[in-house]
Amino acid sequence: MDSKKFNIEWHSILRDVFRNIWVIVCAAIIGVLGSYVATHSVYHPEYTSHATLIINSAAGKANAIASLSQSSEIAAIYSEVFVQPSMQKKVCEYLNKEEFDGTINATVNEGTNIMELSVRASNPENAFLELRAILEVYPSITSSLYSNGVVSVLRDAGMPTFPSNSMTSSSAMRIALIAMLIALIPIVLISVLRDTVKNKEDFADKIEANLIGYIPHEKKTLLFREVLKGKKRGILINDSAFLSLKFSENINKISGKLDYMRRTNGDKVFAVTSVTENEGKSTISSNIALSLAIKGYRVVLLDFDGKKPALYKIFEQNPENCMEFGDALSGKIEFKDYTFTRYKKTSLFLALSTKYHKDYQKWFENGTAKSFIRAVSDSADFVIVDTAPMSFDGSVTDVASFCDAVMLVVRTDRVYAPIINDSIMVLKNTGSQFAGCVLNDVYDDFVLLNQFGSDETGYTHNYGGHYSKYSKYGKYGKYGKYDKYSKYSKYSKYNKYRKYNFNEELEDVEINPDDMPKVNFEENDRGGKI
């Protein structure tokens, strides 16, 4: 492991830029307003009057190419003459002024004999009068220096109507872009240098633990009315037609590893935790339990998050219709009277909590939690325990000590790597086997072609493409007339498997009380009462 390595994860950078877009916008506004204030606090308006001259050679038009070349040379000489102090002195004498109130600028367009002449002054009148004066007095100077030039005025001097050094929309835009760039650079640097786990390569470099598997980023599909109400929906592998195959397959791979641990080591009670909240711990534990149940195992999913339970939201269970698991652990309901919730006729049984329990710490101090876990494990193939985040509840280590193995969910680009490694060390010291980490919310590699409907292999997602020629076989769609035989679908009611329909509602199913151990309140070596 080399903690000094860092990977450039474009999704992480884009997320940080999007989250801090308000900083970039504020920087642009501050830049424009700041330049406006600075400009007007030390602002001295300047006005520029322009004129365009054509310099020709007096040699005639016998040779046009030679004449143009000579005219260009004369124009270059004239441009030097117009900006000399002697020209300013002549203008002051002509206008009867003591001082020239402006700056003369003369430039010749490259390869031509056209000269742009301008005067910039503190007010528009001075700029206009001084430029007109130059056009009047220049022959008295140029005739004595170079007599072979003829000057023609193509565009006469004009009165400027607005300052030439005022802030224009283009200059304001440039200042805004510069300010945005200045604000963007530190955001990108912080994103790149942040010591978090951004992808699988980062995990291998920074985390001292085994990677059980990774969960790709999955978008939640919400209805418009759900978005308006601010409703959140959990992601379950058998509950959405829009769920990606990669998400389901990675969940199944993780559940397969848990199945292997059960067959090789006899581990059947697994705790799932995370360092902090919103890392996807409850979603992953729910889907792993559901995946094992779909494979035919009897799975019990326990919600041991006494502060902020979330499993009932993921399974969309009405709190009024399910028995409170926390009440059973608190002694308000006898173990033998507690009723589990069976999920849609599967072999997944849920023990759900829907509210905060003040006395949840006593569940672990008096041995109630350990007794319940042992009881359930005797009558189930797998027991998945969803705990609270480690940074919010110290009882996670107690729950982990009751389990055969514990897994840590790590969400990409959320928790600093040293904190994750410290949490792993704490879990390893609980006495339970540390199975490894599950890396959640992993984005695919950022490939340019992928942004245009292609994957990293270069094949586009447009299934029409050059195969569209086979669309001629669409004529065989006439055989759709045989849909008339769909009337025999009425016999589907005789399907004996219909009772296992996964779209049915949640149902409460009671575990046999004989499977529960008797509570005798005898002290054991750990000090609990079981």
The confidence band for 4, taking pLDDT boundaries of 50, 70 and 90, is low
Q: Percentage of the chain with pLDDT > 90?
A: 30
Question: Which residues are CB-contacts of 411 (< 8 A; sequence separation ≥ 6)?
Answer: 274, 278, 279, 280, 440, 441
Q: Would you give the distance in Å from CA 183 to the centre of its chain?
A: 17
CA atoms within 13 A on the CB side of 199: 15
Pairing mode, strands 269-274 and 382-386: parallel
Domain 200-447+503-515: give its CATH architecture.
3-Layer(aba) Sandwich (3.40)
Spatial distance between the Cα atoms of 375 and 219, rounded to a whole number of angstroms: 38
Q: Which two tokens mark 462?
A: 């447009």
Sheet holding 102-108, edge to edge: 102-108, 114-121, 47-57, 149-155
DSSP secondary structure string, 189-207?
A: HHHHH--B--SHHHHHHH-
Return the higher-pLDDT residue of 168 and 428. Answer: 428
First vs last C-alpha separation in the chain: 43
CATH 3.30.70.1130 in the chain is located at 47-155
* Closest by Cα among 69, 100, 96, 61 to 84: 100
Cα–Cα dist 393/408, whole Å: 15
The predicted-structure confidence for 486-504, as pLDDT tens digits, reads as follows 333 333 333 333 333 333 3
The C-alpha atoms of residue 278 and residue 281 are separated, in whole angstroms, by 7
The CA distances from residue 484 to 130, 474, 479, 481, 492, in Å, are 96, 20, 11, 6, 16
Q: Are 412 and 279 in contact (CB under 8 A)?
A: no
Tokens 């007599």 map to which residue?
A: 147
CATH number of 47-155: 3.30.70.1130
Residue 517 identity (one-letter amino acid): P
pLDDT tens track for 361-409: 888 888 888 888 888 888 899 999 999 999 888 888 888 888 999 999 9
Q: Residue 512: pLDDT above 80? A: no
What does the pLDDT look like over 432-486, one tens digit per residue? Answer: 899 999 999 998 765 444 443 333 333 333 333 333 333 344 443 443 443 443 3
Question: Is the distance from CB of 389 to CB of 179 less than 8 angstroms?
Answer: no
> In which residue ranges of the chain is CATH 3.40.50.300 found?
200-447+503-515
Show Cβ contacts of residue 387 under 8 Å, excluding neighbours closer than 6 positions: 271, 272, 273, 281, 304, 305, 393, 395, 396, 399, 400
- Model's pTM, two decimal places? 0.65
Strand pairing of 433-442 and 211-216?
A: parallel
pLDDT of residue 524: 34
Range 228-250 average pLDDT: 77
* The pLDDT value given to residue 58: 65
